[in-house]
Amino acid sequence: MNLKTFPGGVHPHDFKHFSKNSPIVELPLPERVVIPLSQHIGAPSNPVVKVGDEVLTGQLIAEPGGFVSIPQHATLSGKVTKIDIFPHPVGTSQMAIEITSDGQDKWIELTDDADYLNLSADEMKERIKNAGICGMGGAGFPTHVKLSPPADKPIDTVILNGVECEPFLTSDYRLMLQRSEDILKGLKIIMKVLGAKQGFIGIEANKPDAIEIMEKLTANEANISVVGLKLRYPQGAEKQLIYAATKRRVPNKGGLPMAVKVVVQNVGTAVAIYEAVRYQKPLIDRIIAVTGSIVARPSNLKARIGTPYAKLVEFCGGLTGEAGKIISGGPMMGFAIPNLEAPMTKGSSGLVLFDKKEAHILQEQTCLRCGRCVDVCPLNLFPSLIAQAVKVKDFETADKAGMTDCMKCGSCAYVCPSHIRLVQWIDTGKIKWAEIQRSKK
Amino acid sequence: MENKVIVSPAPHLHDRTSVPWVMWQVVIALLPALAAAVYFFGWQALYLTLLGAFSAVATEALIQKLRKVPITIMDGSAFLTGLLVAYNINAGAPWWFPVMGAVFAIAVGKQVFGGLGHNPVNPALLGRAFLLASWPTLTTAGWIKTKLGSINGISTDLLQADLAQVAPKAYALVTSATPLNVLKTLRDTTFVQSLTPNLTESYGIANNVYQQLCSMDTLRNLFWGNIGGSLGEVSVIALLLGAAYLIYLNIIEWRIPFFYILTVFVLTILFGGVSGLDANYFALPFVSIFSGGLMLGAFYMATDYTTSPITKTGRIIFAIGCGLLTVVIRKVGGFPEGVCYSILLMNVATPLIDRFTIPKPFGEVKK
């Protein structure tokens, strides 16, 4: 197969061996779930239940807070026991709804439209919106918004992201092996909603069996094909995936994929879309990889949104060593969190545990000007210059060097021999720069 | 979860690189050249090299102690600078020569500006420039023969048996000068004309010397390092071995050495001949890139992180500039070799080059 890729990037060891051969297992119902009101990009959802209310699995518990927002649903049946500040998997504390299970898992009524592909695009979009789906690759952008491009921005290509370039993570991989047909159904729905004429499924070369399965499945599809991609991080970043598959360059300075007539969706999102359109099933569970060298039984779990991380680790047999770092998400872009109290959300693709040795703190040293960060930056930015400018509070220079374009993939910090926390500096600069821009208005 | 876990920003993985790792790998890459130096010049090469390296380390430690900053001698950068200073020294130099060079390189070339990462020019080359300016004869003359008996690959037997009687100046040139020195001297028409009382005979001898310099024998000697010169620069093969290792490890990038050497090669084809004399034009550009400090300079000194451009386009401009200046100095300058000054001059231009070559972000909208 002719493998495609993008310029720049790095080659971290993939560490997928811990959990890649563990089939998806359904986690037993937890006693309680904590459902954050902000699991997505955009306005937080507004609760429509109050403490003491009885809810069914799949019942609406919070409405979208605006157009760029999503509704939230109860992920098990029981009683609303708290609406308060809870730990959030990005490391902060945020408003969430706690539901204590009644152990029954009583569902709302689901439908089954076997003829779902003949629904109108608007009806499909409505069902997707009502299901509370946001991007499940990690970014969490509300899916119905992505599927509603302005009339003057037609979409001709849909790309499903099955790249999973983050080391350790295997949830999308297992999904592609075990629910390949549903992924394809999801893709067809997305293409219909957008009126796109071609669809791609991007998969990295370290998942040859996933490529094979998806290729077999799409062999008779005239306008859908699998794109094999070279093993390189961040191959799964939206702009890099689009470039590899179509050679189109999404414009910088806040440009969106629709500018080049493309929409990208994660494979997990595609399955959620299929279930939402056919069964009107809200997004209440997802696959999450719980992995790392100290996890007794690294696993791919199908678990309810809001399940506390501690429950997942417990189900995997606990830890065989002392944890040095807890990472919510993948090790390149995920968040290090202080404990396992936070719940998993719609964007939680993995929980990675490092032992004491793997969790090192590297001391920052002077920049040698070696230029490795420039060599690897997939967006062709000048990370060392941006970081240096931010350090001396020269945000103008940082902006000119492309600060706001940075997607925080971490390739620069990964290769820096001086261990400079480039991503952190750039991110700090972005926040300060935004504050300055706001105060000017 | 009783124990404390680390909460730090992403990425949580890092590749194996660190400053010490990079520096010591470069030191390792330079070892074949040291082995060649010991083979051709004897143990004094090792002795001078160690003197240079350790006096650089000691200077760094002392100054950092006086500056009350952390002592970072284990990062290998001072050791590497001292090593490179020694590599730029004649194997016949006195013991204090590499010491002076290394102390100057570290003290004035590096620590004055704030240490690693802050120096505007390559400290090792500044050390060499200092030695060249202070003790010019010790730096550019008195080359010792290699153990195999060669100094520039030209055998006096190949010229004429009684060369010493007929043209003593030519004899002295052939037996005491490095290839670049020979080239430089042959360009001097007054020198050529004064070789013998007979003008035709003088040009005949000069032409003969020139042809021998551009012979396959000389090229072979240059390639292996059986030649007079600074102790670390003579063996092309040893330097290339180390360079291949560094490129393989992704420590140095190919652009600077490639474009530097290519520029010298091309400009030598175009302008490198000696007017009035005739020789094998195929060999001349190879003699040019194999001799002097070009290989050492292009792979190990022009690629110095701190003093060369960061951007890819910048690296190409920098390298072409180095090549151009090297050829200009070799051809019309006062010195036979121009690698040192050309890199130092381009070092100074580096911030400017970087400023004008900031890469265009991915997806930059064309205006």
B12 in contact with chain A, both atoms CB, cutoff 8 A: yes
Q: Is the Cα torsion angle B341, B342, B344, B345 positive or negative in sign?
A: positive
- By CA distance, what is A251's nearest residue in B? B363
Record: contact B117-A359, CB cut-off 8 A = no
Stronger pLDDT, A159 or B366, i.e. the higher one: A159
* pLDDT confidence tier of residue A148, bands split at 50, 70 and 90: very high
Alpha-carbon span B92 to B278, nearest angstrom: 33
CATH superfamily ID and name for A116-279: NADH-ubiquinone oxidoreductase 51kDa subunit (3.40.50.11540)
CB proximity B253 to A under 8 Å: yes
Beginning with the edge strand found earlier in the chain, give each strand of the sheet holding A60-63 in spatial order. Answer: A46-47, A60-63, A72-73
For the cut 80, the answer to whether the pLDDT of residue A101 exceeds it is: yes
Positive or negative, the CA dihedral B333, B335, B338, B341 is: negative
Q: What ranges do the domains of chain A cover?
A: 116-279, 372-440
| Plot region of B8 (φ>0 → left; ψ -120 to 50 → alpha; else → beta) | beta
**How far is the first Cα of chain A from the last one, in angstroms, to the nearest whole number?**
53
Say if B317 is an interface residue toward chain A (CB within 8 Å). no
Beta-strand relationship, A24-26 and A299-304: parallel
Q: State how far the alpha carbon of B336 is from the alpha carbons of A299, B134, B293, B328, in Å.
A: 69, 17, 11, 10
Q: What pairs with residue A339 in β-bridges? A: none
Whether the Cβ atoms of residue B196 and residue B167 lie closer than 8 Å to each other:
yes
Task: Give the 3-state secondary structure of residue A285.
Answer: strand
Bridge partner residues of A159 (DSSP): A200, A264
Query: Chain B window 258-277: which residues touch A at a Cβ cutoff of 8 Å?
Result: none
Nearest residue to A426 via CA among A400, A396, A406, A440: A406
Cis omega (within 30 of 0) for bond into B359: no
Residue B245: CA count within 13 A, CB half-sphere: 18
Asked if residue B9 has a cis previous peptide bond (ω within 30° of 0), the answer is: no
Mutation target vs B (from A15, A312, A370, A384; most B CBs, 10 A cutoff): A370
Which pLDDT score is estimated for A42? 92
Report the SS3 class of residue A433: helix
pLDDT band at A177 (very low <50, low <70, confident <90, very high): very high
Cβ A216 vs Cβ A173: under 8 Å: no
What torsion, rounded to 10 degrees, do the Cα atoms B265, B268, B270, B274 define?
Answer: -160
Q: How far apart are CA A370 and CA A379, in angstroms?
A: 18
Q: In 3-state terms, what secondary structure has residue A134?
A: strand
- The encoded tokens of residue A286 equal 């997802």
pLDDT of residue A311: 96
Residues in chain A: 441
Smallest CA–CA distance from B252 into chain A, residue? A370
Look up tokens 């070009």; give the residue: B294
From residue B146, how far is each of A147, B181, B297 by CA, in Å?
76, 16, 21
Residue type at position A349:
S
CA-to-CA dists, residue B323 to B238, B318, B326, B340, B348, angstroms: 21, 9, 5, 11, 15
- CA distances to A25, A56, A73 from A282, rounded to whole Å, are 20, 12, 7
Q: CA angle A339-A345-A270, nearest 5°?
A: 145
- The per-residue pLDDT for range B69-125, each reduced to its tens digit, is 999 999 999 999 999 999 999 988 999 999 999 999 999 999 999 999 999 999 999
Among the partner residues B5, B18, B358, nearest to A326 by beta-carbon distance: B5
Are A411 and A381 contacting, i.e. CB atoms less than 8 angstroms apart?
no
Centre a 10 Å sphere on the Cβ of residue A338 and count the other Cβ atoms it contains: 14
Secondary structure (H, E, C), chain B: CCCCCCCCCCCCCCCCCCHHHHHHHHHHHCHHHHHHHHHHHCHHHHHHHHHHHHHHHHHHHHHHHHCCCCCCHHHCHHHHHHHHHHHCCECCCCCHHHHHHHHHHHHCCCHHHCCCCCCCCCHHHHHHHHHHHHCHHHHHCCCCCCCCCCCCCCCHHHHCCCHHHHCHHHHHHHHHCCHHHHHHHHCCHHHHHCCCCCHHHHHHHHHHHHHHHCCHHHHHHHHHCCCCCECCCCCHHHHHHHHHHHHHCCCCCCHHHHHHHHHHHHHHHHHCCCCCCCCCCCHHHHHHHHCCCHHHHHHHHCCCCCCCCCCHHHHHHHHHHHHHHHHHHHHHCCCCCCHHHHHHHHHHHHHHHHHHCCCCCCCCCCC
Those residues whose C-beta lies under 8 Å from the C-beta of residue B189, and which sit 6 or more positions away, are: B276
> Is the CB of A332 less than 8 angstroms away from the CB of B363?
no
Q: Which residue in chain A is spatially nearest to B310 when comparing CA positions?
A: A371
Contact yes or no for A320/A298 (Cβ under 8 A): no
Report pLDDT for A362. 86
- The candidate with the shortest Cα–Cα distance to A376, out of A3, A2, A6, A1, is A6
B contacts of A243 (beta carbons < 8 Å): 362
Question: Does residue B327 contact residue B263 with C-beta atoms inside 8 Å?
Answer: yes
CB A381 within 8 A of CB A408: no
Q: What percent of chain A has pLDDT above 70?
A: 100
Of residues A409, A434, A412, A431, the one with CA closest to residue A138: A409
User: Is A391 a residue whose pLDDT tops 50?
Assistant: yes
CA distance B110 to chain A (A): 13
CB contact under 8 A, B18 and A366: no
Task: For chain A, count helices (H), then strands (E).
Answer: 13, 17
Helix (H, G, I), strand (E, B) or coil at A336: strand
Please name which of B134, B132, B173 lies closest in space to residue B152, comparing C-alpha atoms.
Answer: B173
**pLDDT, tens digit (0-9, with 9 covering 90-100), for A257-312:** 999 999 999 999 999 999 999 999 999 999 999 999 999 999 999 999 999 999 99
CB contact (8 A) between residue B22 and residue A370: yes
The helix/strand/coil state of A229 is strand
Residue B13 has its nearest CB partner, among A331, A361, A427, at A331
8 Å CB contact of B11 and A414: yes
Which among A374, A421, A427 is the nearest to B310, CB-wise?
A: A374
Q: Are A300 and A287 a contacting pair, CB within 8 Å?
A: yes
**CA-wise closest residue to A28 among A141, A105, A132:** A105
Q: How far is B1 from chain A (nearest CA, A)?
A: 7
**Residues on chain B touching A376 (C-beta within 8 angstroms):** none
Per cent of chain A over pLDDT 90 is 91
User: Are A224 and A232 a contacting pair, CB within 8 Å?
Assistant: no
The answer, for B67 touching chain A at a CB cutoff of 8 Å, is no
pLDDT band at A238 (very low <50, low <70, confident <90, very high): very high
pTM: 0.89
pLDDT for B366: 61
Tell me the pLDDT band of A1, cut-offs 50, 70 and 90.
low
Give me the residue from B253, B305, B363 closest to A368, CB to CB: B305
Say if residue B176 is exposed, middle or buried (CB neighbours under 10 Å; 0-12, 13-18, 19+). middle
User: Lowest-confidence range among A73-77, A395-399, B121-125?
Assistant: A395-399
Residue in chain B lying closest to A7 (CA): B362
The dihedrals phi and psi of A409, each to the nearest 5 degrees, come to -70, -25
Interface probe with A: pick from B119, B311, B362, B367, most Cβ of A within 10 Å: B362
Q: Mutate which of B2, B3, B6, B8 to test chain A, going by most A C-beta atoms within 10 A?
A: B6
Q: Residue B80: CB partners within 8 Å, gap ≥ 6?
A: B23, B26, B27, B30, B124
Cα–Cα distance for residue pair A389/B228, rounded to 1 Å: 48
Distance CA B227, CA B216 (A): 14
Which residue from B22, B315, B361 is facing A402, i.e. has the nearest CB?
B361
User: Could you read off the pLDDT tens digit of each residue along chain B, which spans 367 residues?
Assistant: 456 899 998 899 999 889 999 999 999 999 999 999 999 999 999 999 999 999 999 999 999 999 999 999 999 999 999 999 999 999 889 999 999 999 999 999 999 999 999 999 999 999 999 999 999 887 776 777 887 777 887 776 667 767 888 888 888 888 878 888 888 888 888 888 888 888 888 888 888 888 888 888 889 989 999 888 899 999 999 999 999 999 999 999 999 999 999 999 999 999 888 877 877 778 889 999 998 899 999 999 999 999 999 999 999 999 999 999 999 999 888 788 889 999 999 999 999 999 899 888 888 876 5
